[in-house]
Amino acid sequence: MLTKDNQKKANIPSCDRSRYSQEKYKFFLEAPFEISNKCCNVMKKEPAHTYYRKTGRKPILATMASESRLRTQKWLHNGCNGFDLTIPTSTPMSFWTEQDVLWYIKENNLPICSVYGEVVTDYEAMGQCENQMTFSDYGIFGEERPLLKTTGCDRTGCVLCGFGCHLEKESRFLRLKETHPKFHNLLYVLKNNGVTYAEAIDWINEHGNMNIRY
């Protein structure tokens, strides 16, 4: 286990462990299929870098600090315009929250991809407020605004992305089965080291004591 000051020690209590201590996922080291965190590099970052090298054009990305700890750290370090980065990058939406985005879509009646469904008031969250500053704190888009949600997916990535699927209440794979059955069928076709995606999920459920449904 990794301690908060990055030492490796056995059997330390959870309060002393680094937030990056990943012993819960150690069983993946024995997986009969290959697994890594490199997909974003291959599918998103590298094509963008290649495009930059070919054209000299600098990327403008719609990432937000609220999406992850890493993005928050990067924003605090570089600001919205990272002029000094190896590839200078602008992230003008860094300080927006998800609610800002939903409100902007609703206010301007913008079309969005069908998988998100519609932007509606989140009546279950009525009375709650965001714990982060939003545009409404400055009177932008009106003084008061209810919390909003989408009726379909709230976040999306690659269609068969499995990242975080073990933490979901509603299975993304079962939803895909309903909305896009042909895509869902790829779970039984795509193979890695001879193991289908469906077999890999079964293996994870068995060896990681998880309940990923598909």
Residue 158 CB, nearest approach to ligand SF4 (Å): 3
Near ligand SF4 by CB under 6 A: residue from 163, 190, 191, 209: 163
By the rule CB under 6 A, 161 interacts with ligand SF4 = yes
Residue 213 CB, nearest approach to ligand SF4 (Å): 18
Structure tokens at 191: 């193979």
Radius of gyration of the chain (CA): 21
By the rule CB under 6 A, 40 interacts with ligand SF4 = yes
Applying CB under 6 A, the span of 18-26, 40-48, 105-113, 166-174 interacting with ligand SF4 comes to 40-48
Residue 85 CB, nearest approach to ligand SF4 (Å): 20
Residue 141 CB, nearest approach to ligand SF4 (Å): 29
Q: Which is nearer to ligand SF4, 23 or 46 (CB)?
A: 46
By the rule CB under 6 A, 39 interacts with ligand SF4 = yes
195 beta partners: 192
d(CA 200, CA 204): 6
By the rule CB under 6 A, 183 interacts with ligand SF4 = no
- Going through the chain in order, the beta strands assigned E by DSSP cover 81-82, 89-90, 119-121, 148-150, 191-192, 195-196
Residue 59 CB, nearest approach to ligand SF4 (Å): 16
Q: Could you tell me how many residues make up the chain?
A: 214
Site for ligand SF4 in 54-113 (CB under 6 A): none
d(CA 20, CA 23): 9
Tokens 């990681």 correspond to 208
Distances (CA, A) of 149 to 114, 136, 212: 14, 16, 24
Catalog residues that contact ligand SF4 under the rule CB under 6 A: 39-40, 43-44, 157-158, 161, 163
